[in-house]
Chain A
Amino acid sequence: MNLQWRLAALKNGLQDATAYRIEFFFEIMGSAFVPAAIQWVLWYAIFQLGGKQEIAGMSYPEMLHYTLVSLLFTQVRGGDHDFELQEMIRSGQLSNYLLRPVGVVEFIYIRGVAPRLFIATLCLALGVLFSFWLGLSPIRMVGAMFLALLGNLIHYQLGAALATSAFVWEEAYSVLMIKNMAVSLLSGELIPLNLFPESMRWLWQSTPFYLYVFGPTQYALGYWSHGEFLYQLGLSCLWVIGGWLLIRLTWGAGMKRYLSLGG
C-alpha cells in the first residue's frame, strides 16, 4: 500500500480547502450554527413557548445537550466530493485521472476528506472539553467521533456509487442532492430520530444515515451502552464493505459505458 501519494493527496486537499480562509471559516460557521439555531428554535417553541415538560422521553436540557453534541458530528458527516466525481464524469475530466496510477474514487475521497479530518480534530477537542462541562465521558466522545468518521466514509461511498448514474444520464447532480436532503433529515442533524413516531421509524432504521450524527450523539451522551456501540460499529463496518462492493460494481459497469470525446 503506497502511503506517499495518499499523504500528498491529503495535504493537497487541506491546502485546497484552506486556500480561501475566509470562505472556509464561513462554511464552518454557517454549517455549524444555522442547523443548531434551527434545532434550538424548535425546542424553544415546544418547551418554553408551548410549556411542554418532555417529548419522546427527552426534557428541554436533554434536547439542548443533543443539539450541542450533535453539532460536533454534523461537521464531520460528509463533504461534497461525490459531486466532484459526477462533474468529472459529466465533463470528461475523468480521462485525466484514468491515466494516473491511482484509483480515482479513492484519490478524490482522500483529497476531499482532508478538511473534514481537520474539522474532526477540532470538534473532538471541543467535544472532550464539553464532556467535562456536561459530565460526559471523554472516552465515549473519542468512540463517537470514530463512528462519525466511519459515517463520513459510508456517506462518500454511497455518493460515489450514485455518482455513476452520470455514466448513464450524463449528470448525477440531482441524484446526489436527493441523497443529501434525505441525509439531512434521517441522519439526526435536524432533530433527534427518536422523535419519529413508531410508524415512521423504519425510515431511518433502514438506512445507514443515522450512523453519521444520531448514532455518535447517542453514544457520546451515554444513551447507548458500550455493547450497543460495538454492535453499531460492526454494522458500520458492514456498510463500509457493502459500499466498497457497490463502488466496484457501479464503477466497473460505468467505465464500460464511459466515452471521452474531445481533446
Chain B
Amino acid sequence: MFMKYLHVYWVQIKNNFVREAVYRTNFLTALCVDLVWIAIEVSLFKVIYSNVEVLAGWTQEQVYFFLGIFFASDALFTILFQRNFWNFSDLVNKGELDILLTKPIHPLFLALSRSLNLTAGLNIILGLSITAHYAQAAGFPGGYHWLKLIFWILIGLFSAVMIRFLFSIWIFWTDRSWAFSRLYYQFFTFATKPDQLYPKMIRYLILTFLPFGFIGSVPARALLHGLSPEEYLQIFVVLTSFLILNSFLWKTGLKRYQSASS
C-alpha cells in the first residue's frame, strides 16, 4: 500500500521535473520572486532594528534565526503543496475531481500531490543558511540540537497544510474560493513575525484557531529557549483538532459534490 503511494508520488515528481525544464525562464523568474521576498522581509527587520535594539525580547540575530526557519518551512510547503491548493477550487468547480475519484487511490492524495513547485528549492537552502549563519549569535546551542530543526520544520509544514486546507475546503459550499485564498495569504502575514510581538488576543488566535505561529515562530522559540509541557500539549491538541475537523469537512464536502463535467 505504502509502496504504491510512493511509486505514484515518484511519477508525479518526474512529471513535474519535465514541466519545469520546459519553462526555464519561468523557473528563473520565479526564483527571483522568492529572493526578493526574502530580501524584503529581512530589510523590514533591518529597518526596525536600526531604531531599536530589542523587540519584545527578540534580538536582531534571533529574529533572523526565526526568519530562516520560517523561510525553510514555507519553502517546503510551496514546493509540495502550494500549486495544489491553488488548483483545488478548479477540481470542484470544473468537475476535475471526477477523474480523481475514479482512481484506485485516495483522491485527496492525488489532489494534493499532483503539482510541485520546484523553484522554491533554493529558498530551503537560503532559509537554512540564514538559520545556520545566525544560530550561534542567537544563542542556539547547536550540536545534536540541529536534529530537532528537522522535526520543527515538519511541524511548520503540517501546520501550514492544515490551515491552508481549512481555507480551501469551503469550495464545496461556495462557488469561488478566491476570497478565502486571498484571506489566507492576508492572515499568513502573521506568520512572518515572532508570536511574542503580538498583543495577547492576536497571539492567542495565532496559537490556537489560526495557528500561523506554528510555522516559524514556535519552532524558533522551541529551538532557542525550549517550550513548556503545556505548550507541547497545546501544539498537539490544536493540530489534532485541525486534522479531525479537516477530515470531517472533506467527507461532508464530498457528499455535497456534484460533478460539473459532462
Name the distance in Å between A162's Cβ and chain B's nearest Cβ. Answer: 12
Do A50 and B54 touch across chains, with their CB atoms under 8 A apart?
yes
B217 to chain A, nearest CB (A): 12
Which of A22, A174, A177, A195 meets B51, CB within 8 Å? A195
Query: Which residues of chain B are near A173, meaning CB under 8 Å?
Result: 29
Segment among B123-131, B181-189, B244-252 that sits at the interface with chain A: B181-189
- Find out whether the CB atom of B40 lies under 8 angstroms from the CB atom of A26: no
**A-B residue pairs, 4 tightest by C-beta:** A174-B29, A30-B186, A23-B179, A26-B179
Say which residue of A35, A38, A181 sits within 8 Å of B33 (CB atoms).
Answer: A181
Is residue A169 within 8 Å, beta carbon to beta carbon, of the partner chain? yes
Q: B29 near A44 (CB under 8 angstroms)?
A: no
A170 near B179 with CB under 8 A, answer no
Query: What is the count of residue pairs linking A and B with beta-carbon distances less than 8 angstroms?
Result: 104
Q: In the complex, which of the residues B37, B40, B56, B178 contacts A45, with contact meaning CB atoms closer than 8 Å?
A: B56
Q: How far is the CB of A30 from chain B (nearest CB, A)?
A: 4
B193 within 8 A of A: yes
Shortest Cβ distance from B41 into chain A, in angstroms?
9
Q: Looking at the complex, which one of B47, B174, B183, B190 makes contact with A196 (CB distance below 8 Å)?
A: B47
Question: What is the bound-complex CA distance between A175 and B32, given in angstroms?
Answer: 9
Residues of B within 8 A of A27 (CB): 179, 182
Q: In the complex, are the beta carbons of B48 and A195 less than 8 A apart?
A: yes
- Residues of B142-194 at the interface with A, using a CB-CB cut-off of 8 Å, are 174-176, 178-180, 182-183, 186-187, 189-190, 193
Contact stretch, chosen from B4-12, B13-21, B110-118, B196-204: B196-204
Is A261 among interface residues, defined by CB-CB distance under 8 A? no
Q: Are B56 and A50 in contact (CB under 8 A)?
A: yes
Q: Write the A6-32 contact mask toward B (1 if CB under 8 angstroms, else 0).
A: 000000000000001011001100110
- A-chain residues with CB within 8 Å of residue B180 when the two chains form the complex: 26
Residue of A nearest to B37 (CB): A181
- The answer to whether A181 touches B36, judged by C-beta atoms less than 8 angstroms apart, is yes
Query: By the criterion CB–CB under 8 Å, are B29 and A169 in contact?
Result: yes
Q: Does A99 contact B (CB under 8 A)?
A: no
- What are some 16 contacts across the A-B interface (CB < 8 A)? A20-B175, A23-B178, A26-B180, A26-B183, A31-B186, A38-B193, A45-B55, A46-B51, A49-B56, A50-B55, A50-B56, A174-B30, A175-B29, A178-B36, A181-B33, A197-B47
Quote the shortest CB–CB distance from A40 to chain B (angstroms): 8
Check if B261 is an interface residue, CB within 8 A of chain A: no
17 more A-B residue pairs beyond the given contacts A42-B197, A44-B199, A46-B52, with a C-beta to C-beta distance below 8 A: A26-B182, A31-B186, A38-B190, A41-B199, A44-B198, A45-B55, A46-B55, A50-B56, A55-B51, A174-B33, A175-B29, A178-B32, A195-B50, A195-B51, A196-B50, A197-B47, A200-B43
Q: When A50-B55, A185-B44, A191-B48 are in contact, do A171 and B26 touch as well, CB less than 8 Å?
A: yes
Task: Answer yes or no: A1 CB below 8 A from chain B CBs.
Answer: no
Tell me if A52 counts as interface (CB < 8 A to partner B): yes
Residues of chain B within 8 A of A182, CB atoms compared: 36, 40
Q: Which residue of A lies closest to B43 (CB)?
A: A185
Check if B48 sits within 8 Å of A42, measured CB to CB: yes
Instruction: Tell me the bound Cα distance from A191 to B202 in angstroms.
Output: 19
Q: Are A30 and B43 in contact (CB under 8 A)?
A: no
Q: Is A34 an interface residue (CB 8 A)?
A: yes
Residue from the set A23, A55, A200 with the largest chain B CB neighbour count within 10 Å: A23
Are the CB atoms of A30 and B182 closer together than 8 Å? yes
Tell me if B32 and A41 are in contact (CB < 8 A).
no
On B, residues with C-beta under 8 Å from A are 25-26, 29-30, 32-33, 36-37, 40, 43-44, 46-48, 50-52, 54-57, 174-176, 178-180, 182-183, 186-187, 189-190, 193, 197-199, 202
Could you tell me if A200 and B47 are in contact, using CB atoms closer than 8 angstroms?
A: yes
Which residues of A49-79 have CB atoms within 8 Å of chain B's CB atoms?
49-50, 52, 55-56
Compute how far the CA of A118 lies from the CA of B193 in the bound complex, rounded to whole angstroms: 33
CB distance from B203 to the nearest CB of A (A): 9
Chain A residues whose CB sits within 8 angstroms of the CB of B43 once the complex forms: 185, 200
Tell me, rounded to whole Å, the shortest Cβ–Cβ distance linking B36 to chain A: 5
Nearest to B177 among chain A residues (CB) is A23
Q: Cβ of A185 and Cβ of B40 under 8 Å apart?
A: yes
Tell me if A190 is interfacial: C-beta within 8 Å of chain B: yes
Asked if B40 and A50 make an inter-chain contact with CB atoms under 8 angstroms apart, the answer reads: no
Alpha-carbon distance A244/B25, docked complex (angstroms): 28
Chain A positions within 8 Å of B183 at CB level: 26, 30
Q: How far is the CB of A163 from chain B (nearest CB, A)?
A: 13
Query: In whole Å, how far is A81's beta carbon from the nearest beta carbon of chain B?
Result: 15
Chain A residue at minimum C-beta to C-beta distance from B187: A34
Q: In whole angstroms, what is the CA distance A22 to B56 when docked?
A: 37
Chain B positions within 8 Å of A41 at CB level:
193, 197-199, 202
Q: Is A137 an interface residue (CB 8 A)?
A: no
Give the chain A neighbours of B37 by CB distance below 8 A.
Answer: 181
